[in-house]
Amino acid sequence: MKAKDPICSFCGRRKSESLMMISGLDGHICDQCADQAQKIVEKELGMDGLSPAATSKAESNGNKKLPKPTEIKSFLDQYVIGQDQAKKTLSVAVYNHYKRLNSKKSAADTEVEIEKSNILMIGETGTGKTLLAKTLAKILDVPFCIADATVLTEAGYVGEDVESIISRLLQVANYKPEQAERGIIYLDEMDKIARKGDNASITRDVSGEGVQQGLLKILEGTIANVAPEGGRKHPDQKYIKVDTSNILFICGGAFDGIEKIISRRVQKQALGFKSSHSKEVQDKKLLSLVAPTDLRSFGLIPELIGRLPILTALEPLDKETLKSILTAPKNALLKQYQHLFALDKITLEFSEEAIDYIAEIAFENKLGARGLRGICESILQDYMYEAPSTKNKTQLTITREIAEEKWNRADSQKYA
């Protein structure tokens, strides 16, 4: 009887009551208990505790093979126009970071410990800082979140603690610390937490230097106690421990006014103030000359600058670049509007002159890439309102004359 209908040694089910019965030396296990045992092992040990075969299977299901720097840049080129130097810097930094994580399991490299390389991007608004970070997370297929430094305050004050940044990444990773610890955090508006002044004050700089000091341990690497549901901590709360030493931090900010600091530093080398030299300095792209000393003069503390070793500047966008942003990327803005109108069975076309005009407005008003959407919305708003109700309308062409008329009308109404 026992040989014909074996019984699971764990749950007592007979072979006839299960899909499969695995035989051992002194017992049996059914398919349901085997599946439950695998889940327990994954939960208790995580990816690092699995066998090489199980790890390989998990990698094939979820984790992509680490792309080379040239492959990362090629992927970025499809979504981000220009900024070649910044894309090269990011590609190398991200590749080295994840190569560092993968090499940690190698016993031969135990004597050499590669330090983490956090990144600081400096550029005017609308130059593509956030888009670069988002696109990087897409190609690497890792948890990614965007946090804003302006809402952070020193511990104990109204606002968010620096640990709330880790809490957001943990939410994206479905509260699995082992996944969150391989993620990317983009911390925007870093320039807003600059020290408010060099003079001592009777009040604490709780949203400036205090936040910078709070970020030090997280950027370098620490075991952070994160509240499961986010928000403020309290003594009776249970925390999730997250090791931040493997989390890549990409920080960004406009740092408005840092060009003057760079210009003063560059011009110190000149004897006197010759007009030719002054003009030469003004003609240079000053942001590309940014140095750690300039960040210190702007208001970042030296300890924070040291934890952001990779510094890259994004170039201001010219008319040609803005024009390319409208049409060239996979997710180009004009392609999005064409798709919206196509859903109403209307073919939308833009003349070359109309595209030039949109780029000119964004450039003259220093609106950056984000400003392009607002301009297009103003030009197309009436058509988007009327199109769904219009019958027998299959073609819409936006010329420069139409674009000028719609923009001037919208502009005059704003300032009427």
How confident is the model over 191-237, as pLDDT tens digits? Answer: 888 876 655 444 555 667 888 888 998 998 888 888 776 555 556 66
CA–CA dist 145, 149 (Å, integer): 13
What contacts 182, CB < 8 A, 6 or more positions away?
98, 101, 142, 143, 246, 247
CA–CA dist 162, 23 (Å, integer): 53
CA–CA dist 211, 207 (Å, integer): 6
What's the Cα-to-Cα distance from 339 to each of 81, 343, 399, rounded to whole Å? Answer: 21, 6, 19
Is the alpha carbon torsion for 16, 17, 23, 25 positive or negative?
Answer: negative
CA–CA dist 410, 234 (Å, integer): 51
How confident is the model over 22-40, as pLDDT tens digits? Answer: 888 788 888 888 888 887 8
C-beta separation of 137 from 98 below 8 A: no
Class of domain 319-414: mainly alpha
**3-state SS, residue 154:** coil
pTM, 2 dp: 0.72
Instruction: Return the CATH number of 69-313, one of 3.40.50.300, 2.60.120.10, 3.40.50.2300, 3.50.50.60.
Output: 3.40.50.300
C-beta separation of 289 from 204 below 8 A: no
| pLDDT tens across the length of the chain (416 residues) | 445 678 888 888 888 888 888 888 788 888 888 888 887 876 665 444 444 444 444 444 344 577 889 999 999 998 888 889 999 999 998 888 878 777 765 544 456 777 788 999 998 888 888 888 888 878 877 888 888 888 887 665 656 778 888 988 998 888 888 888 888 899 998 988 887 665 544 455 566 788 888 899 899 888 888 877 655 555 666 788 899 988 999 999 989 889 889 888 887 655 454 444 454 445 447 888 899 999 999 989 999 999 999 999 998 888 999 999 999 888 899 999 999 999 988 999 999 999 999 999 999 888 888 889 999 999 999 999 988 888 777 889 999 999 999 998 887 666 44
CA–CA dist 380, 48 (Å, integer): 53
Domain with CATH 1.10.8.60 in the chain: 319-414
C-beta separation of 161 from 214 below 8 A: yes
C-beta separation of 155 from 345 below 8 A: no
CA–CA dist 276, 282 (Å, integer): 10
In one letter, which amino acid is 60? S
- Gyration radius from the chain CA atoms: 28
What contacts 370, CB < 8 A, 6 or more positions away?
125, 126
As given in the structure block, the two tokens for residue 70 are: 């040239």
**3-state SS, residue 356:** helix
CA–CA dist 189, 149 (Å, integer): 6
Domain with CATH 3.40.50.300 in the chain: 69-313
